[in-house]
Amino acid sequence: MDNKFNMDDKFNLNDEQKDNKDEEIEVLELWEPHADEITDAKDRHIKMSKKTTNRIVIILVALGALLLMWYSTFAQPLASNNKQYQPRDGKWDVHFSDIKLVEQIGGAKETDKPNSEYLVANFYVSFAKAGDTIVYDLTIKNDGSFDARLSCIKLPNVVNEPIIYSVSGIDYNDVLKAGETANMQVTAKYKGGVTPGEVYNKDMNIIVNFVQAEE
């Protein structure tokens, strides 16, 4: 009796295992037609992820390039213009020592007094109609021990600017000897464009740079 019972249990267990195997086969058969769809969906997801990543990289590279252009165009010149050129030995000291208003034509006016720092001169003016003109005289002094050569004159950005700027009295490569002074005139002439009765206000600056003159 015991042996028969054991054989029956073994027989029943084999049938159960067979049924489980059949069920697994049926599940695989149900999923098999969709295997290609699942693979395609995964491929599409991977491609979309790569495209998104590539777009982010392109945007970051473009932003980096724009920041580099801005730094090269604006930040570096501004930083260098606010520093005194320094030769290796001796004293270097070239700066604006005086600014005077010498002429006003038409409705041109000062809105504030001009000022300077080293070789940067700032002006605050307003204009009422075309032809209004204002002229300043600037004194540059060389208090250093080296002769200095004018290397750069930087006027305000004139793109879409309704003002014509001009400089006289000094030119590129002019030499300012140690202990001496030089004078330059800055003229701003308004081309017009404001509504009658209104004024055009402008804060402007003039920058000059000197380097040590060759002996």
Q: Give the tens place of pLDDT for each residue, 121-159.
A: 999 999 999 999 999 999 999 999 999 999 999 998 777
- Domain total in the chain: 2
pLDDT at residue 116 tops 70: yes
Do 114 and 198 fall within a single domain?
Answer: yes
- With 0-12 CB in 10 A as exposed, 13-18 as middle and 19+ as buried, what is 104? middle
Assess if residue 86 is contained within a domain.
Answer: no
Domain boundary (58, 81, 104) is at 81
Asked if residue 68 and residue 31 are part of one domain, the reply reads yes
Average pLDDT, the chain: 79
pLDDT of residue 35: 53
Domain of residue 184 covers: 94-212
Q: Do 59 and 121 belong together in one domain?
A: no
Which residues are CB-neighbours of 206 under 8 A, at least 6 positions away?
A: 120, 121, 123, 138, 153, 154, 155, 156, 167, 186
